[in-house]
A and B are shown apart, each in its own frame.
Chain A
């Protein structure tokens, strides 16, 4: 159980995280979603006591991170797979971590086995591929067999096989009753992995709900209408109370109506139709719509 209460982080005049409150429940994967620069990593660093909140607090099982005794036994985190000395072997890296939290040396071999790095455990970590580094990071997170796990963008840069492995792995951890918080800027990825979503933009909470609710609420359905008589048909549909948008390619997007309703109206008024097709907004579009105002750095296209 992770609980953030009014969490705020300011760097000079920039507000990275703004009065953020949310909670992460055990037994499921919770996605922590937001565009790049939304404050996801900063929030995770505050959860782990690495960064000091300007105000507010965040508790893990009711305690601040610094108040945990042998914290690796309660919380495992993978914030950046590159937090390893490149000339130290994977085994040595895990060995000092285990030692620091009073974990037996055999745990090192167990977690190496779990993530499939046993064969290369003696090699220097600097020579690892991204996928191997990621696995080492996960091994470090699992070392203390913690009930709470945090992963920051764990699938970034991984190949499809690695992505699938991590996805199944996180769901397996949640199924064992653990609290799993995974950040990502990709809604499509989170839709496959997480059952709950905490969505933030520009450091502010946009929504906390189940993934399904979020997707249904945000991906509004529309109907594409193509006809040679759009000039007359458009105003008619507006009169009926639907929201009509001209796509500019002799077609209209009508939202708030089903294709049945539109077909009936067209027939009753004797118009010609060339196309009538229901459209489902993509998850990415929905996400862009919700967080569009909350993107920190806008790219200017076509100027």
Chain B
């Protein structure tokens, strides 16, 4: 508990988490507002549409989570941390918990903010959240942000450099996972095992695919996909912790 309080003080005594949270909200809610305002009978507003742009916020949150650890290396405060808490795994675990929880909260704000603004813009369209699938589609965004933050912290801990970690995360989540599907023959088989693709699957399983969206034959159901995404992220985190414990700080 003490260590969680320590990491909370550290996180909120710099400005970057506030900026990142604000940016994630503004970008996602803003784009959703634009789209909601332009929906029509051919392209109707649905719960799924209000959540279609969560990835914009997620990329910002991935950067925030990676920064939370790489700036510690950048400014050597990680050394001050390890001096105060020689058990490196507990120190890093506390950081992961605090940052991931914040990511989850931002995710919920982004999700319900996007849904709320759509409701405000098109009050006549029925986008009430009723079914379990619709709840998963909206409230699940927080869970995906939470797991994504774990993934980002693992990458940040392994690479230690902001530029490298951010570049890898964004190229991976934005480019690699979506383009791997175009590799002939094996592309589809690889894509269905990609972590962020499975995170997205958790949110969208059971909804109509958007026009042009590739249809992937997923290995798991909705919750299985989330579990798979979480397993990959936690696995990566364990590797990162073992490396951080062994290497010179």
List chain A positions with a Cβ less than 8 A from chain B. Answer: 45, 48-52, 65-66, 68, 71-72, 77, 79-80, 82-89, 92-93, 95-97, 99-102, 140
Q: Tally inter-chain residue pairs, CB-CB below 8 A.
A: 76
- Docked-complex contact A85 and B79, CB < 8 angstroms: no
- Docked-complex contact A50 and B79, CB < 8 angstroms: yes
- Docked-complex contact A82 and B248, CB < 8 angstroms: no
**A87-B80 in contact given A52-B248, A99-B2 (Cβ < 8 Å):** no
**A83-B13 in contact given A45-B248, A71-B84, A99-B6 (Cβ < 8 Å):** no
Can you list 12 A-B contacts (CB < 8 A)?
Answer: A45-B249, A48-B83, A71-B84, A83-B79, A85-B13, A88-B10, A88-B14, A89-B13, A97-B80, A100-B6, A100-B81, A101-B84
Give Cα A99–Cα B248 distance, bound, in whole angstroms: 25
Q: How far is the CB of B57 from chain A (nearest CB, A)?
A: 23
Contact with A along B1-29 (1 / 0, CB 8 A): 01101100110011110000000000000
- Docked-complex contact B2 and A88, CB < 8 angstroms: no
**A96-B82 in contact given A45-B248, A50-B249, A82-B76 (Cβ < 8 Å):** no
- Docked-complex contact A83 and B75, CB < 8 angstroms: yes
Residues of B within 8 A of A68 (CB): 86
**A50-B6 in contact given A45-B248, A84-B77 (Cβ < 8 Å):** no
Give Cα A23–Cα B13 distance, bound, in whole angstroms: 39
- Docked-complex contact A51 and B249, CB < 8 angstroms: yes
Give Cα A65–Cα B13 distance, bound, in whole angstroms: 28
Chain B interface helix/strand/loop/mixed:
helix
Give the size range of B's interface with the partner. Answer: 20 to 34
- Docked-complex contact B82 and A92, CB < 8 angstroms: no
**Which of B6, B71, B79 lies in contact with A96, CB distance below 8 A?**
B6
**Which of B9, B10, B77, B246 lies in contact with A83, CB distance below 8 A?**
B77
Q: How far is the CB of B207 from chain A (nearest CB, A)?
A: 42
**Which of B3, B9, B10, B86 lies in contact with A49, CB distance below 8 A?**
B86
Residues of A within 8 A of B249 (CB): 45, 50-51
Residues of A within 8 A of B87 (CB): 66
**Residue among B6, B13, B71, B249 having the largest count of chain A Cβ atoms under 10 Å:** B13
Residues of A within 8 A of B2 (CB): 99-100, 102
**Residue among A45, A51, A83 having the largest count of chain B Cβ atoms under 10 Å:** A83
